[in-house]
Structure 1
């Protein structure tokens, strides 16, 4: 108890001295204290809420070894390095390909000598055995995973390099783990905890509400009318702003259309050359471009305070993606607006783009058999060539086989056989079942973002409830609130929100929300389902889990 009091006193001192704040923001102290108490911690907090200060302060208080930070983009890493240096938090190094051999050597020497407090890496750099060994020898006290939603296969920014981080954590002796993300629904949070192998984890979910962003949906059945409405909205809106579309083709076509309407617009998508993308992003950040029409490639690392609107010309593939994208508006605290230009036909495009295709039983058997025939360690690149299979599919199948205890994926990404199954066909069928469950969850997440577009009631309440935050009353700052529509009150409903229930066919799930005469449940195996309350009661489809 005395030690905890001392830590709190030291934390307040660091807050005032380093950050020049009178007090910590909501969620920060809870997450820091969880780490100091020895818990692995997942902090889900919006951009601008001070997630980086959690590991910076914890590092100063733990002091038994360096802090390793995994981040997906060098631009993000540079911003955090500059912040650490400006606040004199400690000695920091960012390892990337821009460093010379001599600089790498000095960084490792400083790490070994205890002269480094913070080390920034991308997950892919652990593919180098020397890097893993040097970090292991330094015995890090804290392992930080930034943008942790990238670890989730049904997160909208899944990055295969993140899938190996659990093995890397164990290879480093399992230092305390801190996972940070600005957006993660319950399935994504669960997968982050599971894939990182977090010990006795504490999950801190805080502050999803962005009350300065006005939320709205405009519905269309005609594409030409939708385009005209978007053009008018942009022409009248305060700028700068972002328009999100579903494909590269649409980004180019819509940007060209807006330019013909005398609206200064540039397209941004993953098909552009890296230098060209960087130029567009820099110009937008400097207010040299009023409107950018972008795919989801324009996202992480974009921290521009004065974005006055985020419009979606096409619906996102999940509420997670939608909420992160609209969160790029109004970061300066001033009013901004987020509008979805909704045509139900767009759901077909999203369904196609998010479909990962079926995994066949013989495909799984083939991968497992080849890995075990090699006996030793296999390189996934060589497996890909030998099996004539896509890298994405190979990564999926190997992940399922690891979950089933058939193979082991090493920290450097290579694969070795673990336990040869006595019944390979049975294992393959189980892997296919895993895959089908994931596909069902992906489809159900698309249904939830459709629910946002079509909800009768407060849109903000719908969004916050999706992420596990309750609102006592409608927000008053969205189109449905302004129209006077009120969502159903769940207090008089048969199963309380956030309670566990069992369905006669789909197994256990979590009650998420009520919409008029419907109940929305997130089932563990099949994802989100929307059910008629009357049918549920009359047929006794759900029972409470005691």
Structure 2
């Protein structure tokens, strides 16, 4: 199929099957790459139609489309949406189904009665599920929320770490890795973890010009709290307030109820029924504001959120942009306001500062190695007498080091050909320290955003590698007219996106240029902001050839 015919067929399927009269920026390009047999990493905001990128090519390729989707509720929505169109059928395979229903779904995929098969990463960790899917010979694999392999890494969804192996077991057809926000190091993690081959990275549409960006600075915590309550109580429309702790979620919700607002707290420790209740209120416009930790996020796609307030800075601009991106998805004006007190960064450092326990890593590695077979996670935890969280971190670090295979929910075994336990522990500790360096640098970039004296939109977009060469006119700095004049990124010896080398920190890429400094993203140590005077006069950087 030549390019012209391919583009015509994509348009026809998009319109005739799904009712889309046009394709958005990045969609057609990603679809064409997949049809050409290439792996694709698409970074595009939520609400920009990333699902279309696998749905349309799935109609043109022989064999089922496997979609890895982390939330069961989201799977149900996606299956229901595809059942409403003549797209060849869709099924889900998840832990809430009886065994017979899961088997029937896999049978439908194998027989050609279902074009789309939605699974969680935990299901793909099961050998019997993989074998059934491999027999169906899938023509396309889509990994939704692909940043899970990086930004949550060893602290969440360990079965994401096995997706690269699962993709190979399924014959490695073209893979579409989809995410709403991923800075360059996260994109590198996704490519590496999923084993993408010669991946086409397509980054589109980060700019959300309808979002008002603002930072309000405080010295006193009580002043900040009262300002947040007054702000939220005085706003119209549906809103979100993100807080750092469960206690703050409850405290702010109670204060806002006292101020006459319908407010609900939300955090990961709440019972599932209570979380569902708050989700329902939010969905049905029966609440004015949800006060939440970062647990309130994935799968939230309500178009008319009018404001997102942050009571404390999150751990990175990546997380911040993801969370403020839940406002104004209908294209109407919305506000994103960070209430900032420098001391609040100390709490984030605490959350990101936990060093891997070398002793526990060693005990896990030695025990699984000596066992020689598959060990249930519960059995490991009981034998080692450690918490589930500490065991999960150790297992996932050792899996990243190539020593352990996660073979199913709660089960691990020593990897064939993996390093011996001593070398595995050393590699895991090195991985952990590298991740901690990157995390600390991202937190410092969050500080830099909060204290930035230039256009806030430009800061965020350049952090994600998207050039933005003018003031946006829709942030607090630009409106006040007192921001520092920013240098054209094309000027000077170290231009935007130039490759550089530092004697100690190794290779990096220039991500920001300001009149007196540049910010470089180094492969090994993360983000560093350097004085241009020192760089130029002391020869701290050299350009990569």
TM class, shorter-length: over 0.9
2:117 to 97, 119, 128: 119
- The residue that corresponds to 1:217 in the other structure is 215
Q: What's the counterpart of residue 139 of structure 2? A: 141
1:342 corresponds to 2:340: yes
Give the whole-Å Cα distance in 1 for the aligned partners of 2:399 and 2:303. Answer: 43
Contact 1:149–1:158 (CA under 8 A) maintained in structure 2: no
Q: Determine the C-alpha separation between the residues in 2 that align with 1:114 and 1:279.
A: 38
Give the Cα–Cα distance (whole angstroms) in 1 for the partners of residues 181 and 388 of structure 2: 27
Corresponding residue number in structure 2 for 1:253 = 251
The number of residues matched between the two structures is 542
Equivalent in the alignment of 1:286: 284
Q: Residue 540 of structure 1 aligns with which residue?
A: 539
Structure 1: state its 5+ residue gaps: none
The C-alpha deviation readout for 1:223-255, integer Å capped at 9, x for no partner, is 121122212222332211111100100000111
Please report the TM-score for the alignment, with normalisation by the length of structure 2: 0.94
1:233 aligns with: 231
Please, which of 273, 295, 302 is the counterpart of residue 293 of structure 2? 295
In the alignment, which residue of structure 2 is the partner of 1:91? Answer: 89
Deviation digits for residues 409-448 of structure 1 (CA, Å, limit 9, x no counterpart):
44775322433657x6555334322211110100111111
SS at match of 2:309: strand
User: Residues 100 and 427 of structure 1: is their aligned pair in 2 closer, same or farther, counting only changes over 3 Å?
Assistant: closer
The partner residue of 1:103 within 101, 114, 133 is 101
- Name stretches of at least 5 consecutive residues in structure 2 with no aligned partner: none
Do the aligned partners of residues 355 and 489 (structure 1) sit closer, same or farther apart at CA in structure 2, a change above 3 Å counting? same
Question: For the residues of structure 2 that align with 1:390 and 1:499, how far apart are their CA atoms?
Answer: 45
Change (3 A) 1:405 1:270: closer
Residues 70 and 121 in structure 2, CA contact (< 8 A), matched pair in contact too: yes
Q: Distance in 1 between matches of 2:475 and 2:456?
A: 7
Structure 2 SS opposite 1:490: coil
How far off its partner does 1:305 sit? 1.2
Which SS does the other structure have where 2:363 is aligned? helix
Structure-2 change in CA distance of 1:157 and 1:244 (3 Å): farther
Deviations 1:129-151 (A, max 9, x none): 32222112111111111111111
**Counterpart contact for 2:469–2:489, Cα < 8 Å:** no
Is 1:3 the counterpart of 2:5? The answer is: no
> Which of 349, 356, 366 pairs up with 1:369?
366
46-55 or 477-486, which moves further after superposition?
477-486
**Secondary structure, counterpart of 2:368 in structure 1:** helix
Kept after mapping to 2: 8 A contact 1:507/1:523: yes
The within-5 A match list for 1:297-336 is: 297-336=295-334
Q: Equivalent residue for 1:46? A: 45
Provide the C-alpha distance between the structure 1 equivalents of 2:403 and 2:291, rounded to a whole number of angstroms. Answer: 45
Q: Which residue of 2 aligns with 1:508?
A: 507
The reply to whether residue 34 of structure 1 matches residue 33 of structure 2 is yes
> Partners of 2:104 and 2:441 in 1: how far apart?
50
- Partners of 2:415 and 2:174 lie apart in 1 by 29
Structure 2 SS opposite 1:81: helix
- What root-mean-square deviation, in Å, do the aligned CA atoms of Structure 1 and Structure 2 show? 2.1
Q: How far did 1:289 drift?
A: 0.6
Is 1:378 equivalent to 2:375 in the alignment? yes
The answer to whether the 8 Å contact 1:154/1:188 transfers is: no
2:74 maps to 76
Shift of 1:300: 1.0
Residues 334-343 or 68-77, more deviating: 68-77
> For the Cα contact (< 8 Å) 1:156–1:321, is it kept in 2?
no
Instruction: Name the counterpart of 1:444.
Output: 441
Structure 1 Cα separation of the partners of residues 153 and 454 of structure 2: 26
Q: Rate the CA distance shift 1:380–1:353 in 2: closer, same or farther, 3 A.
A: same
Residue number in structure 2 paired with 1:519: 518
In the aligned structure 2, how far is the partner of 1:183 from the partner of 1:230?
26
Residue 202 of structure 1, CA deviation: 0.9
Aligned-partner SS, 2:216: strand
The equivalences for 1:374-413 within 5 A come to 374-410=371-407
The alpha-carbon deviation at position 329 of structure 1 amounts to: 0.5
1:21 deviates by 3.2
Q: Which residue of 1 aligns with 2:16?
A: 17
Q: Secondary structure at the match of 1:414?
A: strand
Contact 1:168/1:411, CA 8 A, preserved across alignment: no
How far apart, in 1, do the equivalents of 2:237 and 2:35 lie?
Answer: 44
Query: Residue 463 of structure 2 corresponds to which residue in structure 1?
Result: 466
Q: CA deviation at 1:68?
A: 0.9
Q: Aligned partners of 2:316, 2:357: CA distance in 1, in Å?
A: 22
CA distance in 1, matches of 2:192, 2:306: 37
Aligned to 1:498: 497
The alpha-carbon distance between structure 1 residues 500 and 87, as it changes in their structure 2 partners (threshold 3 A), is same
Q: CA deviation at 1:273?
A: 1.1
Partner of 2:472 in structure 1? 475
Give the Cα–Cα distance (whole angstroms) in 2 for the partners of residues 273 and 237 of structure 1. Answer: 29
Alignment correspondent of 2:58: 59
Worse-superposed segment, 207-216 or 136-145: 136-145
Residues 41 and 179 in structure 1, CA contact (< 8 A), matched pair in contact too: yes
Who is 2:206 aligned against? Answer: 208
CA distance in 2 between partners of 1:524 and 1:102 (Å): 47
Measure, in 2, the Cα distance between the counterparts of 1:29 and 1:420.
Answer: 41
Per the TM alignment, residue 306 of structure 1 is displaced from its structure 2 partner at its CA by: 1.1
For the Cα contact (< 8 Å) 2:26–2:203, is it kept in 1? yes
Q: CA deviation at 1:155?
A: 6.3
Shift of 1:112: 2.2
